[in-house]
Amino acid sequence: MSATLHLRDTWLTSQSHPAISLSRWQQHTELLCQLFKAETCLIVQHLDEQAHIVTVKQQQERWTAGETLPWDELLTAMKQGEPGEHPAWQDGLIALDLHWPDTQSFGQILIACKQQPAILDTCLKLAEPVRALIQAELKHMYLMQQLEMLSFQDEHTCMLNPYGFSLMAPRQLNLSRRLGSHAGIVLLENCQSSLSMDEQQTQLRKLARVVHENMREADLAARLDNQQVVILAFVDNEANLQSLESRMKKQLLKTEPSLRVVTGYSFFSPDANIELDPMIAEANAKLQLEKQRLYPQ
């Protein structure tokens, strides 16, 4: 999971970050509302066709910061003005794009006016420094996340290391719980013995490559030790998790037949009050049973 992807999959207001000052964003919102003589000004994050309102300034109470609603519904509701010929004027709505440093969309500043400002071009020029300040904070947040990810990464497999997984996986699990999503742990172990350290590293890289090729971008994968890899996967149901486990096994058998990989899984439903460590322990217990069955000592 890349730094940007992790950020794009999370609402900005879901957790505090030292690079982002929401009080400053609120001041920017109020300034833009005054500049354009607007009825409403919102800073909105856009994700999966949903709009999440980060800050709001409005003449009449209609929306609240932290509210989430369908993106198209919000745009339609804000277009209450008269038509105009200026390319930035959309029937009463002015939209200023906001981006992450890699050019992926963060969202927009939405400004709703009853009438097109007489000096709209001037207003847009004056709004640019405000937009630049907001994007500078997004860039700072992005860079801090990248540095954090580097310290979390295992140099041999490019997966998370145990420290990174112990910090990032609980965050994602809590987010999954809040969103009502299902998740699961898949544990994989290369159970070959009597290998040198170099041989262990080589086989671990082979295992990691297959895992990378078969997991989704939103999932997390980490190296736990010289033999075990763990995946935190987000699924619709337990059958999907079993399918992921089965697909990994088939792909390993096909592409890396020299490996002796055993697996175990643990399923998580959002209404279950279970933490990460018990999930890993449950998956490991199943893995050990499979190891005893396939490779008895």
Give the contacts of 131 (CB within 8 A, at least 6 positions apart): 96, 98, 109
Tokens 């935190």 identify what position? 232
Residue length, the chain?
297
* Radius of gyration for the alpha carbons in the chain, expressed in angstroms and rounded: 24
pTM of the model: 0.56
Which of 16-20, 37-41, 197-201 shows the lowest per-residue confidence on average (mean pLDDT)?
A: 197-201
Dihedral angle sign, alpha carbons of residues 108, 99, 149, 153: positive
Retrieve residue 245's tokens: 């486990």
Tokens 């937009």 identify what position? 131
Does 3.30.70.270 match the CATH number of domain 153-294?
yes
Q: Which of 138, 172, 283, 137 is nearest to 224 (CA)?
A: 283
Is the pLDDT at 93 greater than 60, yes or no? Answer: yes
Among 3.40.1080.10, 3.30.450.40, 3.40.50.20, 3.40.140.10, what is the CATH number of 3-150?
3.30.450.40
Please name every residue paired with 220 in a beta bridge, in sequence order, or none if there are none: 232
pLDDT of residue 63: 95
Q: pLDDT band at residue 6, thresholds of 50, 70 and 90?
A: low
Compute the average pLDDT of residues 59-83: 92
Is the pLDDT at 272 greater than 80, yes or no? Answer: no
Domain ranges of the chain: 3-150, 153-294
- Quick check: 65 and 13 in contact, CB under 8 A? yes
The neighbour count for residue 110, using CB atoms within 10 Å, is 24
Compute the average pLDDT of residues 69-84: 91
CB-count exposure of residue 32 (10 Å: 0-12, 13-18, 19+): buried
Q: Which of 250, 236, 248, 259 is nearest to 283 (CA)?
A: 248
Compute the average pLDDT of residues 104-130: 95
Q: How far does Cα 233 stand from its chain's mean position?
A: 13
pLDDT, tens digit (0-9, with 9 covering 90-100), for 247-266: 999 999 898 888 899 999 99
Q: How far apart are CA 217 and CA 205, in angstroms?
A: 19
pLDDT, tens digit (0-9, with 9 covering 90-100), for 277-291: 899 999 999 999 999
Compute the average pLDDT of residues 243-248: 92
pLDDT of residue 149: 67
On average, the pLDDT of the chain sits at 89
Q: pLDDT band at residue 153, thresholds of 50, 70 and 90?
A: confident
- Quick check: 130 and 115 in contact, CB under 8 A? no
Q: How far apart are CA 63 and CA 58, in angstroms?
A: 8
Compute the average pLDDT of residues 212-225: 88
* HSE-up of residue 32 (Cα within 13 Å, Cβ side): 33
pLDDT, tens digit (0-9, with 9 covering 90-100), for 155-213: 788 889 888 898 889 888 888 888 888 899 999 999 887 777 788 888 888 999 999 88
Q: Which of 203, 214, 215, 195 is nearest to 157 (CA)?
A: 203
